[in-house]
Structure 1
Amino acid sequence: MRKEMNDIVLVDDNPAILYGLSEIFKRRGYTVRTASDGFSTLALLRDRIPGILLSDLNMPGMSGYELLSVVRRRFPVIAVIAMSGAHSGMFVPSGVAADAFYAKGSNGAARLFEILWSIEDRDSRESLRASVPIWIPNLSAHECGGSAVAVSCPECLRAFFNPVSRGKGSTYLTSCPHCFYPVQLAIATQPGEMDTTSLGLHRSASQPGVAIYGD
């Protein structure tokens, strides 16, 4: 594995999952940093760009959907794995800006490392990346007199408000009012509570009460 791929950032709002993941990766020789939401993750990325980002999708503040959309545009060099207990299967959920997907609760640690090895080659993973929408929170804007979202145009970078009348997960096409660039959007709402999905963990005999991965 290339040296830069040993540097990983883990993101999840569940402290137990962050601890379990951190222990596994540290034991495999990875340099690990952790964050509990999208905003703190971006701060870590500004400090140092990792080789790998492993992020939950359902988090408060800035969701994983929004975070990965920003990372794809600003830090395309990072290999990204999305994870969630709300989705199953081996494929990346539609519209998610990730190179691979890990289903929490249904796959062991061995599967996670298989995924990492499969996306190690930068040229290969970037050649497979498809166009994805910009994920945005469903926030009210008083300036618009109704429900709207603030959008930053990926072409001219100017911000504009776009009215929203669609539900969570819906995608639609609009255009920047400044440069008329077509912009595909997707709406992500914030979770009402912390995701408590486990990762197929078991109790460690050497550390009673602490859950760690089993290969």
Structure 2
Amino acid sequence: MSSASFPYRILVVEDDPALREVARHMLESKGYEVLGAEDGFQGLAALKRSLPDVIISDLRMPNMNGFEFLSVVRRRFPSIPVIVISGEFTGLTVPESVLADAFFPKGQYKPQDLFAKIEDFLCELPTRPKVGKPQKAAVWVKNSNEAVVVTCTDCLRTFPVTSPPKGVNEVECDFCSCTIRFEIVGALLSPLDTSRIS
């Protein structure tokens, strides 16, 4: 698993401080170095400082949720294995909408199963294939001003885009000038028309 001189590093992204602390103690007891983050933004900041060997993430979090965070992770760091632990879904298979390599329903799994999955991923690390990257990996959310907030998959900073049309859009990042592609799959509600759902 890990040696005393070079422990494997695991990033835990969880907004509940108590659960984050429990995860830290459990993983440290197995010899792992543990980094913590309370949401996706902090998780991305942690990735910029030091890449982990495995990521464990929740899905429902404030600021940047797990779906958004994992979209960026899959695009920027496709070779890092990701485990999702969440109450959003049930069962042990990875839900189709979750960009992860393994899934555990929160409160319904045994720690030894989690440790075994981590071990499996660590054994694969030298030969782990790069999983496919999404073609449109930028993240967007509608805010109260009818704008879309896009997260640049290159510099990981966010910027607003006003009234993008439905379909695939390309914009230049306000910070690093990279071209970002994202897709609007539903119509944005206009102030005059509240009968449509985005």
Q: For 1:105-154, what per-residue CA distance to the aligned partner results, in whole angstroms no more than 9, with x for missing partners? A: 1111011112213333147653554747644333244xxxxx23133576
8 Å Cα contact 1:175-1:182 kept in structure 2: yes
**1:111 partnered with 2:105:** no
- The verdict on how the C-alpha distance between 1:58 and 1:106 changes in structure 2, with shifts beyond 3 A counting, is same
C-alpha distance in 2 between matches for 1:186 and 1:2: 44
8 Å Cα contact 1:83-1:101 kept in structure 2: yes
- Corresponding residue for 1:22? 24
- For normalisation by structure 2, the TM-score amounts to 0.71
C-alpha distance in 2 between matches for 1:104 and 1:63: 16
**1:138 partnered with 2:137:** no
- The verdict on how the C-alpha distance between 1:162 and 1:117 changes in structure 2, with shifts beyond 3 A counting, is farther
Identity of aligned residues (%): 34
C-alpha distance in 2 between matches for 1:44 and 1:33: 8
**Structure 2: unaligned runs, 5 residues or longer:** 173-177, 187-198
What code does the residue aligned with 2:143 have? Answer: L
SS in 1 for 2:24: helix
Q: Select the residue among 168, 175, 178 that pairs with 2:169.
A: 175
Which structure has the higher relative contact order (CA within 8 Å, separation 6+)? Answer: 1
- For normalisation by structure 1, the TM-score amounts to 0.66
C-alpha distance in 2 between matches for 1:186 and 1:63: 19
- The verdict on how the C-alpha distance between 1:33 and 1:91 changes in structure 2, with shifts beyond 3 A counting, is same
Deviation at 1:173, TM superposition (A): 4.8
- The verdict on how the C-alpha distance between 1:185 and 1:23 changes in structure 2, with shifts beyond 3 A counting, is farther
SS in 2 for 1:93: coil
SS in 1 for 2:74: helix
8 Å Cα contact 1:80-1:100 kept in structure 2: yes
Q: For 1:37-93, what per-residue CA distance to the aligned partner results, in whole angstroms no more than 9, with x for missing partners? A: 111222211111111111101000111111111122222332211221121112222
- Corresponding residue for 2:161? 161
Q: For 1:163-210, what per-residue CA distance to the aligned partner results, in whole angstroms no more than 9, with x for missing partners? A: 589xxxxxx8523267998644679xxxxxxxxxxxxxxxxxxxxxxx
SS in 1 for 2:34: strand
C-alpha distance in 1 between matches for 2:162 and 2:126: 35
C-alpha distance in 2 between matches for 1:106 and 1:125: 28
- TM-align CA RMSD: 3.5
SS in 1 for 2:99: coil
Question: How many pairs were matched up?
Answer: 175
Q: Select the residue among 49, 60, 65 that pairs with 2:51.
A: 49
